[in-house]
Structures are given as C-alpha cells and as structure tokens.
Structure 1
Amino acid sequence: MTDRHGAVLVLTNPYDATADVVLRVLADRRVPVVRVDPGADLHEGASLTARYSTGRRWGTLRTASRELDLSDVRSVWVRRPSPYDAPPGMAEHDAKFAGAQAFWGAGGILASLDGAHYVNHPWHIRNAEYKPAQLTVASRCGLLVPGTVITTDPQEAREFCVRQPGGAVYKPLWDSRYRDSEGAAQQVWVRGVEAAEITEAVAACPHLFQAKVPKAFDVRVTAVADRLFGVRIDSPDLDWRHRQDLMTCTPVEIPEPVARSIAAYLGELRLIYGAFDFAVTDDGSWYFLECNANGQWAWQPAETTAGIAGALADQLEKGPDT
C-alpha cells in the first residue's frame, strides 16, 4: 500500500454491521478512521464547518471523540448514512427547509473534499441508481438485458406482458418506503405479473415490467475496482431476497466477457464499487438485472466476505491515485 497519511472518513449509520467488517481490517492495519452519521450526528453534538477563499479550502468535522481536519482525509467511504433530515420537533415547513439545507450544505461539503478517494462518490451513487440508466449502460457495455418496458400507459404494459412467451415480472424502480393502509412497513418484491392483473393504476406513476428470464440460478458479482467476487445463488423464489434463509450460496467463476463488461460499466458510471445481479440460464447466458452502487455484501460466504472486506480496505487505505 502507499504511505499516504490522513484518516479514512466513513459515512454510515451506527447500526451498519457491514461497515464493521471493513473497519476491523483497517484497525488491524493501524489506519486511522473517523466514523460519522452526518444526517443524525449533526443534530446530536457533532459539528461541521467549511471555509472557502480564493485558492484555499479548509474545514473541520468534530464528533464526540474526534476532531478531523477536512484537508487531511485520504478516503471517504459512503456506506449507509441516515437521510439529511431536520432536527426532531421542528414545525413542518421549518423542517423541510432545514432538511434541504442539511442535504445541500453538509452533503455538499462531504462530497467535495479535495484529494480524497471516494468509494463511491455520493453523486456517482445517485446517478447510478436510476434503473433506466442502468439498463442503458449495461446494454452499451455488452451485457445481455431482458426485454423491458417502463411506462405509465396501462395498455402498453398489458401488451408487453402478452408478448412475453416465458412470462413477465414487475419490479419497482426504486425501493421507496412503503406502508399499507394500516401503517405496516412493506417490501415490494420482484414478482410475476399477468396482463389481466394490470389496472389503470399504472397511469399513476412509471412502472417497470420485464421479460422473465428462464434462469437456472442467480449470481451476485461484487466488484471492487478491478477485483470481482462471484457467488452463485440457488433459491426457490423468483426474488432470492424474499427468503434468504432458503437460499444457498457458492463461489462461481465469472466469464471473461462478463468481467470485461462489468469493468466498462463501472468506468462509464465512475464507480469503484458495484453489486451486480445476474440471472443465468441453462445455456450459460448471463442476463443483467441491476447494479446497486451501495449494495450489501456481508451476507455472502465467509471467504467471499473476507475477500470483499480486504479489497475495500485496500481502496480506502491507499487513498487517491497519484
């Protein structure tokens, strides 16, 4: 590794056990780390200050236990920070104003640290989260993409589903917070859909329908720069996330053409890290489903998890390329 000094700044919530795996590796390497959840900690005693003048930028992040010179940050790991909300107890309109100022102010400061290496940069994460962009970039980079329609037209959706000989599935464009009529939190899973089920409610917002891939198994490829970690997932469910206690995971080799396309995808979207999901058919075709620029990975087999943690620690320790 390089001899670059400075701390690694980890932006995540206090319950993020996945981050702990990497932080233990960095601790063993004696790399200084500052962990903060800016969306919450700035309401609970932490403070953030940035100053700007011609040719100079500097600032300070203070937490309950550390004071960090913002010009002395080698890397920033944007993991799972809380949203930039207002302090509790504010009136509705005041809270909206304060939350927006926090997002654009504190978020902007922490996304603009000169000389820091971001894994991933928050603006690149945001850009890579749009499903239409993912499908466009994946296709351009040579990955197989299932037939897909995103529409607000119920008849277009019905006609698309009818044309799929192997059936169609529905998946949300974003994992929005959703509660049923009784207020209970709900997860919207990928599920099969028939044309007859599609109602005029499709017109309320864009919906994504996709040809159902006749998969033999799923694959998660976790990419950390040029290092790829592939795991085969066997599950009785269409969406293996639904009942993870029923799935089995085993390491799998990644075909070279797929590896090259993954590298191109990361490069185009300016990502260091990406969690790619594929559906693999009996004839060995790998169909791209999505890429989460901030996906979880510590649920994988111990050897794979350790490899990913080490690769992330390497990125954070080395800092920016010089």
Structure 2
Amino acid sequence: MSDLGPVLVATNLDDPTADVVINELHDRGVPVVRFDSGDFPHALSVAAVITSNGVEGTLSTPSRTADLSRVRSLYYRRPSGFTFPHLDDQNARFALTQARYGLGGVLASLPGCLYVNHPHCIGDAEFKPSGLATAASVGFRLPPTMVTSAPDAARAFIKRHGPVIYKPLSAPLYRLHGVSCTVKVAEVADEDIDEAVSGTAHLFQQRVEKSADVRVTVIGGQVFAVRIDSDLLDWRTDYSHVRYSVATQPPGITEALYAYLAHFGLVFGAFDFAIDRQGRWWFLECNPSGQWYWLEPETGLPMLAAMADLLERTTP
C-alpha cells in the first residue's frame, strides 16, 4: 500500500455510489475517512493550522481522524449543507458563514491533494449557461438555447426554434403538498408562456429529434460512453423504459470532453448527449457530481475500478 494518507469522501448519509467506492478502497487497503459537512460541528471537527507548507492539522469524525497534510485525495460527492437549528436566524446565518469559509476553506486548500472534483470547480461548472458556452467553445454541437425572464422573448424563441423544451437551471428541493418533487424537462408551446415567466430566469432549448441518448462518464484518463435507448423525452423520469449498451464515440468527442473538463479544472464529469436521427451528437449538459455506478452492472464497463484507481492515485 502507498505511504500516502487517507482518501476523504465528503457526502451525505444516503449515497450508494459513495458506499461502493469506499468498499472498493477498503478492499484495496486504502484508508478512508467519510464525513458530511452537515455534521459540523456536532459530529465533525477541524483543527487546522496554516503554515509555510500549507494546511496542517486534523479533521475528525466520531470514528476517524485524518491528517490534513497527508490527504491523498478528496472525493467531493454530495455533502449536505451546514445547519444550526439551535440558533436564532441571525446567529445561524453568522455560524453558517463561518463554517462555509472556515471548514470549507480548509477543505479547498489541502496540500498535494487530488480533488475529484474541487468544490470551487464544481460550483463554477454547475452554472448551466457557463457549461453551455464552454461546450460550444470546445466544439460540441449545441441546440439553440435561451435563458430569459421576458415572456415576449420566450414566445419569439419558441416560434423560431420550435419544438422547444423547458429545463430548470438548477434542481433544488421542491415540495408539493409535502412531497418531494422534481421539476421535469417538458415541451412548451408559445401559448403556455404567460407573465409568470417574468418572475425568474428560465432556460428554453430547441428539442433535438433524437434516436437515443448517451451518458459519457469521464473518470481521470478513462472515458465510458453508454447509449441509452428509450421512448422518453427525459430518460431519467422512468428507468423501467430504458435500455443500455456501450456506445462508440464519433471523432473529436474525446478531445472536446477533455477540453471542457480542463476549462473548469475537473477530473470527473458525467456528460449527457442526444443523438439525432442522422446520428449526430448534441451536447445537453455536464454534471460535475453526476451519478455513474448504476451503469456498470448494466454494461460491464469497469467504472468502479477506474474511480478507485483515480482516488488511490495509481493512475495519472
């Protein structure tokens, strides 16, 4: 086993993908410290000192302690946010800000650490307009897209580029009658647009008349492309209607994938494409914290080994 220190895994309690990665690392004899930033400070503590060598000190959970100067990699998945329910609103805001810039700043400054991915880079890449603009700049084919809060502009876009779909720019927790819901991708007509559009920003995009979807997962130096066949506008709404197969990438895709990741400073990305009826690939989005493990049992692609190799740092 390498003399490097532990792999840190930052995620929430319910994360099956993190579970299988941690099990794989354990089987390899790689030390792992799993934590959730939402446990700070009651079940997570930090004692960091800034020196000429960078950040030194410890990060501690009830069962593990990590030497911050020897962290080999940080797998930054989907940690929950800081909460301070025992404080009043004003003091909770203050405590949350200190935690974000304190603990968050320490985690973003680990010396010699490989980030998968760096939390600041994740934040930058999660802005859909930035991602779409970058995709166009590196050579991906992009459907006509508009971000607007102007109803007249939305109607004009729909008339010019229809059929058009609506997509949320981000997907925060949304509850309807106390039930968690997802704001779905849906086709929209000009008569559906009313003054409510002026209430916030919306993303409208020309619908690709597709024959299939593709999820391309980049894990360090390896690329895994999976074709997804379904009769759905958004295949994520009903996995029972989905069929998977290994896809062959057209020329130039791999180079564009890595140019996109380099722009944002990422080493991992889950890219979604639509394949039209002429076989052309259209970029839809890249999730810097996307899911990927469910595709391995469906295709046999060695994605778990690739992720463990990356975090263990046995590959570049």
> TM-score, normalising length from structure 2?
0.95
Show the counterpart of 2:97: 100
Q: Indicate the residue corresponding to 1:213 in structure 2.
A: 208
The code of the aligned residue for 1:269 comes to F
Counterparts in 2 of 1:56 and 1:186: CA distance versus 1, 3 Å? closer
Q: Is the 8 A contact 1:4 1:74 kept in 2?
A: no
Pairing 1:126–2:123 present: yes
Change (3 A) 1:179 1:305: farther
1:33 and 1:305 mapped to 2: Cα distance? 26
CA contact (8 A) 1:75 1:117 kept: yes
Cross-structure match for 1:262: 257
C-alpha displacement of 1:26 = 1.1
The amino acid that maps onto 1:17 is P
- CA deviation after TM superposition for structure 1 residue 198, in Å: 0.5
Distance 1:225 1:3 in 2: 19
How large is the Cα RMSD of the aligned pairs? 1.8
Q: Following TM superposition, by how much is the alpha carbon of 1:162 offset from its aligned partner in structure 2, in angstroms?
A: 0.8
Normalised by the length of structure 1, the TM-score is 0.93
What residue in structure 2 maps to residue 178 of structure 1?
174
Whole-angstrom CA distance in 2 between matches of 1:320 and 1:216: 36
Superposition map of 1:7-86 within 5 A: 7-40=6-39, 42-54=40-52, 57-86=55-84
Higher RCO, 1 or 2 (CA under 8 Å, sep at least 6)?
1
Task: Name 1:307's counterpart in structure 2.
Answer: 302
What are the Cα deviations for residues 6-32 of structure 1, in whole angstroms up to 9, with x where unaligned?
A: 111111112111011111221121111
Instruction: Find the aligned partners of 1:65 and 1:105 in 2 and give their Cα distance.
Output: 22
2:244/2:298 contact within 8 Å kept: no
- CA-to-partner distance for each residue in 1:46-65, whole Å, 9 max, x for gaps? 31111124555311111111
Residues 56 and 141 from structure 1, CA distance in 2 versus in 1: closer, same or farther, beyond 3 angstroms?
closer
Aligned to 1:293: 288
Change (3 A) 1:23 1:303: farther
Counterpart for residue 271 of structure 2: 276
Counterpart mapping for 1:223-238 below 5 A: 223-238=218-233
The one-letter amino acid paired with 2:43 is: G
What residue identity is the alignment partner of 2:140?
L
Q: Deviations over 1:211-231 (max 9, x none)?
A: 000100101001112211111
Give the total of aligned pairs: 316
Q: Which runs of structure 2 are paired with 1:183-194 in the superposition (5 Å)? A: 183-194=178-189
Structure 2: gaps of 5 or more residues: none
Aligned to 1:111: 108
User: In 2, Cα distance between the equivalents of 1:132 and 1:124?
Assistant: 15
Per-residue CA deviations over 1:59-102 (Å, capped at 9, x if unaligned) read: 1111111221110101111011111222x322122222212221
Identity over aligned pairs, percent = 44
Q: Is the 8 A contact 1:75 1:320 kept in 2?
A: no
Counterpart of 2:152, as a letter, is Q
For structure 1, the 5+ residue unaligned runs are: none
Counterpart CA distance in 2 for 1:155 and 1:240 is 30
Separation of aligned partners in 2, 1:110 and 1:214 = 43
Deviation readout 1:233-277 (Å, 9 max, x if unpaired)? 112220111111221111111123111111111111111000000
Q: Is the 8 A contact 2:155 2:193 kept in 1?
A: yes
Distance in 2 (alpha carbons) for counterparts of 1:130 and 1:206: 13
1:239 pairs, out of 219, 231, 234, with 234
Distance 1:190 1:146 in 2: 15
Mapped to 1, the partners of 2:221 and 2:53 lie a distance apart of 35
- Between the aligned partners of 1:141 and 1:56, the Cα distance in structure 2 is 34
Q: Distance in 2 between matches of 1:147 and 1:23?
A: 41
Paired residues of 2:54 and 2:111 also in contact (CA < 8 A):
no
Answer yes or no: is the 8 Å Cα contact 2:125–2:264 preserved in 1. Answer: yes
| Cα pair 1:74 1:320 within 8 Å, conserved | no
1:78 maps to a residue whose letter is Y
- State how far apart, in whole Å, the 2-side matches of 1:6 and 1:218 are: 40
Could you tell me how far apart the structure 2 residues matched to 1:192 and 1:30 are? Answer: 49
